[in-house]
Amino acid sequence: MSDFRPLSETELAALSPERLIAYHHEARRLGRHDEARTALAILVWGFRDRVRFWVSRKVPAHEVEDVTNEVIESAIRSSFDRATPGQFGAWLKTIAQRRVADYHAAGSRRPDQVPLPEEHEGEEEIWGVGGRIPDPTQEVVERSIVEQALGELSEVHRRVVELAGAQDLGFEQRTGKETARQVNDQLSDEIDDPMTEANVHQILSRFRKRLAELLDDDGGGGGG
């Protein structure tokens, strides 16, 4: 006889992704479909910020929320039978890719294409106030991923990111000009040539790309 006990949404929200998956599978095995669906919904919502990040790299900014919601709704309606958070992340990303493909196939609602950030590295007039990381990476990003990306930088480049990076990522979001000036003042012994605004933008662009790579690689990590 199973010792399965239905949990409230509050109790489910407090579970780790691993325990949510186990609960979901047990509920399905016992034919407790409402409980299974509730657990899956909470699991999916825990990954919402990650889904939004994936979507934001493929569709225009003003469509991100709509496509993200479509991904969430599709996932909740789907059947998930994998065993680990890593497999869940891969499964959810596949659904996101399909909804993004559907979006692009539905040309009637597609606005003018928006260039990807790397197409205009260092162009402040396109990407906002000097030194800002573009909107796609201003979503919630796990601090461990940010720290990993920072840890790969030299002292000078790390200081650039700390000064000019987006506030949403825990940085000071100063202008490219101010960042270059401060780095030149603070780390003059560490640099051969003076830091320029263009250098700041290039460093931030590379940091943004690295964050995206790490977040993709971590696609199966835990939900919020």
The pLDDT of residue 218: 59
| Close Cβ partners of 162 (under 8 Å, ≥ 6 residues apart) | 150, 171, 172
Averages of pLDDT over each 10 residues, the chain, 224 residues: 83 92 93 92 90 87 89 90 86 91 69 40 33 38 76 91 81 87 86 87 86 69 42
pTM, full prediction: 0.50
What is the pLDDT, as a whole number, of residue 24?
Answer: 93
Q: Which residues of 123-137 are buried (b: 16+ CB within 10 A; e: fewer)?
A: ebeebeebbbbbebb
Residue-level pLDDT at 139? 42
Domain edges within the chain: 9-109, 117-217
Protein fold of 9-109: Rna Polymerase Sigma Factor; Chain: A (1.10.1740)
Pick from 104, 103, 94, 88: nearest CA to 44: 88
Angstrom CA distances, 49 to 19, 53, 171, stand at 20, 6, 19
